[in-house]
Amino acid sequence: MVNVIADQPAAPVRRATEGPWRTAWRKLKRDRSALAAFGVLVVIVIASLAAPLYARYVSGTDPFVTNLNGEIVVDGTTQPVLQPSTEGLGLGTTPIGPTWRLGPYLLGADNQGRDVAARLLYGGRDSLLIAGAAAVLCLVLATFLGVVSGFFGGLVDIGLSRILDVLWAFPIFLLAISLSIVLIAQSIWIGPFEIRSGSLWLPVFIIGIVYVPYVARPIRGHVLTLMQAEFVTAAIGLGASPWRILWRDIMPNVVTRIIVFVPLILALNMMTESSLSFLSIGVQPPDASWGTIIQDGQGLLYSRPIVALAPGLAIVITVLALNILGDGVRDALDPKSSPRGV
Amino acid sequence: MLAALGFRLGQMVLVMFGISIVAFLIFFATPGADPSARIAGRNASQETLLQVRHDFGLDRPLPVQYGLMMNRLFISRDLTSFVNRGQLVVPTVTEAIPVTLSLVGGAAVLWVLGGLVVGVIAGATRGSFVDRALMILSLVGVSVPVFWLGEVANLLTQSRWHDTWLFSWVPPLGYVPLTEDPWGWFKALIIPWFTLATLYVGLYGRVLRASLIEMMQEDFIRTARAKGIGERRVLLHHGLRTSLVAFVTMFGLDFGALVGGGALLTEVVFGLQGVGKLTYEALQTLDLPMILATVIYAAFFVVMANFIVDVVFVFIDPRARDVR
């Protein structure tokens, strides 16, 4: 047998290697459950954005105005929206139940005669908005703190780490509740920005900061390991400035970590927002979120359970989709999670 | 080893101190959040405000207020509520602790067992239909808000299916002390236990599965297999034992956080008068001494749990002994 290869002049073989983003995207595209979850999320976002359209063209009622004496026509008969109660002593009223057909009161009314289906869509808008904005705030703050702490080390690191330690040990939920109770009834000033009492930005601010230690700590740890990596030593050896090392060597590696956090933080934020709103210290009336609608439905739990069930299901579906997507993103971006040798 | 523990102990005291200051500052020094205005009620006159401020010592400098509060909380233990005048804070919190401990303890038993079963079965049958089904169920469990799950449980057991054979035994919402009626205690808590445990079964099952799968690729597992040990024994004695390290850490932290008030939502939904519900009620009336006491108590549990985890770690994982 002739050794063909040895006779050839050594031609440099350069295979174009795939960039990390491309690899991640390819993996994510193959992950069918993650794609399905993403699809569900897109549908939920679009439905929520279409809330005003639904209220105007389908339900035909303003979901923020009480409708105590209204009447609607169902199956040819006229029915009051708030019907005399048939349970107990027959005192008080029970809101109309679901009609289960497109039109007014698809999912029935709450105890103020407001259309639950329309409120559900509006509530989704606020829930998603708060979760999203709080996630941005949290990730920006956490990245800043984590990178600064890990990159500069020394006194800065010690100071920041101790502060994060204290916040870390503070029961997260109690911290959120404490802040909400103190802040919810008044306007606060953050630098030049005023947050009015009852504003949606208040829950954003509170939810945004309470999870900062959860993200900042792992990012700091990651930066610390990166600083020991050979390519950073090489960059230092080549005389690269600290800024160059920070932007060219550290940040690109940190960014993948942050992206992995995005769906998970969104899911956490959704849960926290709904819990705070359920305790009536999150979103304030007249605004509605899924949490506040569950709270509205609490008094009607045994007579009209749909008022509390529907927003809860919406939360479960959204958070589940975020968690599935989160798993997919992690598998795609985190090289360690891929099976060995692949 | 002793030095390491001593170091941790000192750190713990520092963190506790920090937490008490954060809690104090949130309620007493947030700009615009004047506690005396809340106590005096709406539209109180300026004189009433000043009077209230003086009565409660709110006109003194902040460090003095902080010192007085801590002194009355920890040393003389005669701190009284702002809202229910004369109600002593420390005994009120102590009375609520058994309720919370009963709730969290029972749920912990459920979630540890559930998490172990789910994690081991899913890890052992990796990639199979069983594994996938278990993981989807766990993810659903992690995604359900606990207060909503509690409401659904109430709807089914208290109203819709209450008259059927399935749930006719469920007592009305509330707590029954263990010492008075053990069986009643059990019946009153079983639904809250399952509700609270759901999230953690999912969480622990997923973590344990991931950790098992990682462990089963280690060299010592290959050695064990090469020695001819059966697959079941390798899984349970070699793989599971090492995987439990992460499990123990998580358990300590979660247990501490829940006992320290994290079970608030479950307690509110099921009408259990525990520390969480106490905190919630104090927060609604802005009963500052009560809030401060419960928050510091909660932080104490969290920090304690951290500390215990570290100590346990030193015993179960020899590698942890040299690390600070």
Collect all residues with Cβ–Cβ distance below 8 Å to A3 and sequence separation of at least 6: none
In this complex, do A294 and B148 lie within 8 Å of one another by their Cβ atoms?
Answer: yes
3-state secondary structure of B271: coil
Residue B47, classified by CB atoms within 10 Å of its CB into exposed (0-12), middle (13-18) or buried (19+), is exposed
A77 pLDDT more than 80: no
The C-alpha of B144 sits at a distance from chain A's nearest C-alpha, in angstroms, of: 5
Asked whether the beta carbons of B68 and A221 are under 8 A apart, the reply is no
Q: What whole-number distance in Å separates Cα of residue A289 and Cα of residue A277?
A: 7
Q: What is the nearest CA distance from B57 to chain A, expressed in angstroms? A: 19
B152 close contact with A: CB closer than 8 A: yes
User: For residue B60, with 0-12 CB atoms within 10 Å meaning exposed, 13-18 middle and 19 or more buried, which class applies?
Assistant: middle
Q: Do A188 and B140 touch (CB under 8 A)?
A: no
Q: Show the CA angle centred on residue B98, arms to residues B94 and B103, nearest 5°.
A: 135
Read off the pTM.
Answer: 0.84
Task: State the pLDDT at residue A270.
Answer: 92
What residues of B are in contact with residue A316 (Cβ under 8 Å)?
140, 143-145, 148
- The band of A341, judged by pLDDT with boundaries at 50, 70 and 90, is very low
B31 CB within 8 Å of a chain A CB: yes
Q: Are A174 and B260 within 8 A, CB to CB?
A: yes
pLDDT at A15: 64
With tokens 């009609």, the residue in question is A99
Beta-carbon contacts of B293 under 8 Å, excluding residues fewer than 6 positions away, are: B73, B79, B89, B90, B93
B18 → closest Cβ in A166, A182, A308: A166
- Neighboring chain A residues of B151 at a CB cutoff of 8 Å: 294, 298, 301, 308, 312
The number of C-alpha atoms within 13 Å of B279 and in the hemisphere containing its C-beta is: 33
Banded pLDDT at A151 (limits 50, 70, 90): confident
Interface test with A, best of B38, B144, B147 (most A CBs within 10 A): B147
Average pLDDT in chain A: 80
Q: What pLDDT, on the 0 to 100 scale, is given for residue A85?
A: 64
**Is B4 in contact with B321 (CB distance < 8 Å)?**
yes
Q: Which amino acid is residue A207, in one-letter code?
A: I
Question: SS3 for A167?
Answer: helix
The Cα–Cα gap between B6 and A24 comes to 46
pLDDT confidence of residue B158: 82
pLDDT band at A342 (very low <50, low <70, confident <90, very high): very low
Q: Which residues does chain B have within 8 Å of residue A340's beta carbon, measured at their own beta carbons?
A: 217
Residue range B163-169: mean pLDDT, rounded: 77
From the list B15, B142, B283, which residue is nearest A323 (CB)? B142
pLDDT over 70, % of chain B = 92
Amino acid at A300: L
pLDDT of residue A90: 55
**Please, what is the angle between helix A306-333 and helix B129-143, to 10°?**
120
pLDDT tens digits, one per residue of B84-97: 767 788 888 888 88
Residues 6+ apart with CB under 8 A from A310: A107, A116, A117, A120, A293
CB contact under 8 A, A166 and B15: yes
Instruction: Look at residues A133, A95, A99, A137 and name the one whose alpha carbon lies nearest to residue A293.
Output: A95
Question: How far apart (Å, rounded) are the C-alpha atoms in residues B7 and B28?
Answer: 32
Contacts of B8 in chain A (CB under 8 A): none
Across the interface, of A173, A267, A301, the residue whose CB is closest to B151 is: A301
Residue B193 has pLDDT above 90, yes or no: yes
Q: Does A134 have pLDDT greater than 90?
A: yes
CA distance linking residue A327 with residue A33, whole number of Å: 10
Model confidence at A317: pLDDT above 70: yes
Give first-to-last CA distance, chain B, whole Å: 9
Q: HEC states along A257-276?
A: HHHHHHHHHHHHHHHHHHHH
Assess contact for A183 and B317: CB atoms under 8 A: no
State whether B145 and A275 contact (CB < 8 Å).
yes
> Above 90 in pLDDT, residue A315?
yes
Which residues in chain A have Cβ-Cβ distances shorter than 8 Å to B158?
A: 302
Residue owning tokens 């305790």: A279
Q: Distance between CA atoms of B310 and B324, rounded to whole angstroms?
A: 10
Lowest mean pLDDT among A148-152, A220-224, B258-262: B258-262
User: Across the interface, which of A162, A315, A324 has its CB nearest the CB of B145?
Assistant: A315
- Can you tell me the distance from the alpha carbon of A225 to that of B143, in angstroms, rounded to the nearest whole number? 32
Per the CB < 8 A criterion, the answer to whether A265 and A257 are in contact is no
Cα-Cα-Cα-Cα dihedral of A168, A173, A178, A183, to 10°?
100
Q: Across the interface, do A166 and B22 touch by the CB < 8 Å criterion?
A: yes
Q: Which comes out higher in pLDDT, residue B69 or A207?
A: A207
Q: C-alpha angle with apex A64: A61 to A65, nearest 5 degrees?
A: 70
A278 to B265: CB separation less than 8 angstroms, yes or no: yes
The answer to whether A271 faces chain B, any CB pair under 8 Å, is: yes
> Which chain B residues are closer than 8 Å to A327 by Cβ?
139
Chain B partners within 8 Å of A323 (Cβ): 139, 142-143
For residues B114-137, give the mean pLDDT.
90
- Mean pLDDT, all residues of chain B: 82
Element (H, E) at A80: strand A77-80
Name the residue of chain B whose CA is nearest to A325's CA. B139
Ranked by mean pLDDT, the top range of A309-313, B171-175, B320-324 is A309-313
Residues 6 or more apart whose Cβ sits within 8 Å of residue B90: B73, B77, B79, B293
The residue ranking higher by pLDDT, A78 or B253, is B253
User: Distance between CA B55 and CA A65 in Å, rounded?
Assistant: 44
Mean per-residue pLDDT for A333-337? 63
- Find out whether B193 and B110 touch, Cβ atoms under 8 Å: yes
Give which of B264, B220, B266 is closest to B242, Cα–Cα.
Answer: B220
Q: Please give the pLDDT value at position A320.
A: 93
Sign for the CA dihedral angle at A278, A284, A286, A288 comes to negative
Is B246 in CB contact (< 8 Å) with chain A? Answer: no
Name which of B26, B160, B262 is nearest A182 (Cβ-Cβ).
B26
Contacts of B107 (CB under 8 A, 6+ apart): B192, B193, B194, B196, B197, B200, B258, B263
What's the pLDDT at B215?
83
What element of type H or E holds A193?
A: strand A193-195
Query: Does the pLDDT value for residue B51 go beyond 80?
Result: no
Model confidence at B48: pLDDT above 70? yes
Tens-place pLDDT, residues A170-204 = 767 777 777 777 776 666 666 666 666 667 888 88
- Cα A110 to Cα A107: distance, rounded to the nearest angstrom: 9
Considering only the C-alpha atoms of chain B, give the largest distance between any 2 of them, rounded to a whole number of Å.
85
Q: Which amino acid is present at B235?
A: L
The residue among B135, B136, B148, B222 with the most chain A CBs within 10 A of its CB, best to mutate, is: B148
Number of CB pairs, chain A paired with chain B, less than 8 A apart:
121
How does pLDDT run across B213-259, given as a tens digit for each residue? 888 888 888 888 888 888 888 888 888 888 887 788 788 878 888 88
* pLDDT category of residue B42 using cuts at 50, 70 and 90: low
Q: HSE of B150 in the Cβ direction (CA atoms, 13 Å)?
A: 24
Distances (CA, A) of A302 to A78, A274, A285, B152, B193: 25, 21, 23, 10, 22
* Residue B298 to residue A179, Cβ atoms within 8 A: no
The label of the residue with tokens 């052992």 reads: B124
Q: Can you tell me whether residue A83 is helix, strand or coil?
A: strand
At A338 the pLDDT is 42
Tokens 């035994």 found at? B169
Contact residues on chain B for A162, CB-CB shorter than 8 A: 14, 18
Residue A2, beta-bridge partner list: none
Asked if B18's CB is within 8 angstroms of A162's CB, the reply is: yes
Which B residues, 82 through 141, put their C-beta within 8 Å of a C-beta on chain A? 139-140
Mean pLDDT of the region A166-173? 72
pLDDT band at A7 (very low <50, low <70, confident <90, very high): low
Whether the pLDDT of residue A310 is over 60: the answer is yes
A102: left (phi over 0), alpha (psi -120 to 50) or beta: beta
pLDDT band at A316 (very low <50, low <70, confident <90, very high): very high
Is B262's CB within 8 Å of A324's CB?
Answer: no
Q: Distance from A279 to chain B by nearest Cα, in Å?
A: 8
Taking alpha carbons only, the member of A208, A210, A180 closest to residue A277 is: A180
Query: Quick check: B22 and A167 CB within 8 A?
Result: yes
Strand A82-84 and strand A77-80: pairing?
unpaired
- In angstroms, the CA A168 to CA A171 distance is 7
Q: How far is CA A186 from its chain centroid?
A: 25
Q: Does the beta-carbon distance from A316 to B148 stay under 8 Å? A: yes
- The answer on pLDDT for B60 being more than 80 is no
The neighbour count for residue A302, using CB atoms within 10 Å, is 13
Q: Among the listed ranges A139-148, B166-175, B273-282, which one has the minimum average pLDDT value?
A: B166-175
- Contact present, A31 and A331 (Cβ < 8 Å): yes
Shortest Cα distance, chain A CAs vs residue B143, angstroms: 5
Q: What is the mean pLDDT of residues B191-195?
A: 92
Q: How confident is the model at residue A96 (pLDDT cuts 50, 70, 90)?
A: confident
- Two structure tokens written together for B60: 């003194």
| Residue B163, H or E segment | none
